[in-house]
Every structure is written in structure tokens, then in C-alpha cells.
Amino acid sequence: MRRTLSMLFLVSSMGLAMNTRAQDAPEPPQAGRTALVIHGGAGFVPRESLGDDDLRDIHATLDQALDAGNAVLADGGAALDAVQAAIRVLEESPRFNAGKGAVFNAVGGHELDASLMEGHTRRAGAVAGVSTVRSPILLARAVMEHSPHVMMAGAGAEAFADTRPEIERVENSWFDTEHRRRALEKARQASTGSADDDAPAYFGTVGAVALDRQGHIAAGTSTGGMTNKRFGRVGDAPVIGAGTWADAGCGVSGTGWGEYYIRNAVAHDICARVAYRGDRLVDAAEEVVNRIVTTAGGDGGAIALDRDGNIAMPFNTGSMFRGWIRPDGSRGTAIHEAD
């Protein structure tokens, strides 16, 4: 009897151990196969609104971001560094709603949010509502590496930035761009019902997810939030599990109507489906973005990557700036569905 019980115990603890292993320490992927996926935001950018120069510039900037991230990966570097490198390029481009080119809030200023996460260590860093930090993703990284915290916000995050010499500071007006100012005007008119048409729902957040040679995954997101947002509003981008998530087997960066991404824990939900239910990444991402978010009344997109280098890029907004490099080296950039 005793023997039977201890056998039972042994078998069930083996089961437990296998379960734990399945979730926390998945089989390593094929060594050396890296992958990278980036986005420059979901939104509706009508094809006819983009001239040849715009198209060239958008694709070239996405390519530069891919190159920056891929240079890290090709060198055997960490997924986290690749994510940061790709996002830095997009933050510096006025085309995208992150860093330079961030949207205006309702009081005519800029408040920026960012986060990043490393899957196999579950380390994460985030900042919300910062207004003088040129690269919010770098500050999120500093929070992760040089503070005991995961997220810092507003004046406290700025004070923390004061202690970090590598964090470049700028006047809030440095983020201004003419096209974002026009978008604010349109959004204000739309909210008072005096606009001819609805303000376009440009989102434009940026994000990246990478798989490195060690089989580690990281994800990050950086944004100015939503045009005409209330002063103090924080979206999903800095919320770990909503706009950004990475675990041992999967990583996600979201873009879209942030309130819905927070309420539905979008980034985490995609990876949880892969980890707990064994869903294919593409099915999990599709289901969460194109059914759960939309059924709730929101919209947007996401990029996702699993440990085998599979990539998913669902969106339901008409367009999503995006780019990818698959494990076989094939790469591309795209804006609309049919691209």
C-alpha cells in the first residue's frame, strides 16, 4: 500500500514537473535561428493619402529599424537589445507616434509611454506619462535595470531620469510636429461635432518583438498614446500584459485603442493561449485581436513571435505599418492588408 502510494506520488510529481517544464523551460528552438518583427502602429492611413515619397520613407524607416534590430541578433546579441535598437530607430522618426512625432494630448502637450519585457527572465520595465525624455524605451530599460521597480510614472519617472546620465532630455515642444498638430485640431473639431469628417483614427505606436540565437524572446512598445487624450491618461503600451508581454515561448507588442487592450490583457492573452492551450501563435493572435478586441468595441493590431520564429501580425484597422525578418532570412515591410 505504502509502495503504491509512493509510486502514485512519484508519478504525479513527475507529471507536475513535466507541466512546469512545459510552461517555464520549453525545448530550446533550433540553435541560431533568429527572428524579428516590428510595427509602426495600427490605424487607418488610406492608400491614396500616401505619396511616393511617403511610401519610400515609411518603408525605408521600417527597413532601418529591422536592420538595427537584426544587427544585434546576427551578432549573437540579446533579443532585448534587438528590440531596443529597433524601437530607437522608430522613436526618432517623426513618421511614427513615439518619441519625435508623438501625438498631442488634449492640453497641447506630449506624454509618452513605453515598456519592454524579457521572456525567459520575466524582467520588465515601463514608464508612463513622461514628457522630457527623448527615448522612453531607454528609460523603461533603465527602470528595469537600475531600479527595483517595473513601472514609474510622471514626475517620479522624470526624477528617476535625472539620475541616469544616459537618458537624453528635451523640451516637451521638441516632440511637436505639424502633422500631429493638425490631427489634434481635427480630433478637437470631431469631439465638438464641427468637423466635416471624423478625425482619422491614426494610432502609430511603435513596437518590436525579437527571438535571439539563445532562443530568448523579448518585446517592447513605445508611444505618444492617442491624439487628444486627457492629460494624465495612460494607455496600454506601458502596461505589462496589455500592450507588451514576453515569456519563454512567446512575445507580443500591441497597437490600438489602449483601453480595450488593457481591459482584455491582450498581449498576455495571446501568449497564454499558446502556453496553456497549445494554440498556434497565428490562431491565438488572430482570435484575440480580431475577435475579442473587436467584440468588446475596440480596434487595433499586434505583432507576435513564438520560440520557433513563427510570426503573426493581425490588425483590423485598415492599415498597420509593419516589418519582419523570418528565421530563414526572408524579410519584408508592409502597410495595408494586401501589401
Residues 6+ apart with CB under 8 A from 56: none
Report whether 254 belongs to an annotated binding site.
no
Candidate list 99, 215, 235, 249; residue touching ligand ASP; CB under 6 A? 235
Among 38, 128, 209, 226, binds ligand ASP (CB under 6 A): 226
Q: Tell me: does residue 204 bind ligand ASP (CB under 6 A).
A: yes
Tell me which of 69, 99, 256, 309 binds ligand ASP, using CB under 6 A: 256
Segment lying near ligand ASP (by CB under 6 A), choices 48-56, 252-260, 305-313, 324-332: 252-260
Q: Which of 203, 315, 321, 324 binds ligand ASP (CB under 6 A)?
A: 203
CB 173 within 8 A of CB 134: no
97 touches ligand ASP (CB under 6 A):
yes
Q: Name the active-site residue from 132, 205, 227, 317.
A: 205
Q: Is the Cβ–Cβ distance between 321 and 58 less than 8 Å? A: yes
Residue from 70, 135, 223, 310 touching ligand ASP (CB under 6 A): that is: 223
Asked if 227 touches ligand ASP (CB under 6 A), the answer is no
Q: Which stretch binds ligand ASP (CB under 6 A): 14-22, 222-230, 313-321, 330-338?
A: 222-230
Active site residue 20: no
Applying CB under 6 A, which part among 47-55, 180-188, 203-211, 270-278 lies near ligand ASP?
Answer: 203-211
Is 61 one of the binding residues for ligand ASP (CB under 6 A)? Answer: no
Q: Is 77 annotated as a binding residue?
A: no
Tallying the residues shown for the chain, one arrives at: 339
319 binds ligand ASP (CB under 6 A): no
Answer yes or no: are the C-beta atoms of 190 and 162 closer than 8 Å. no
| Spatial contact of 227 and 202, defined as CB atoms under 8 Å apart | yes
257 is annotated as contributing to ligand binding: yes
The contact set with ligand ASP (CB under 6 A) reads 41, 97, 203-205, 223, 225-226, 235-237, 243, 255-256, 258
Any idea which residues carry the catalytic annotation?
205
* Residue stretches of the annotated binding site for substrate: 233-236, 255-258
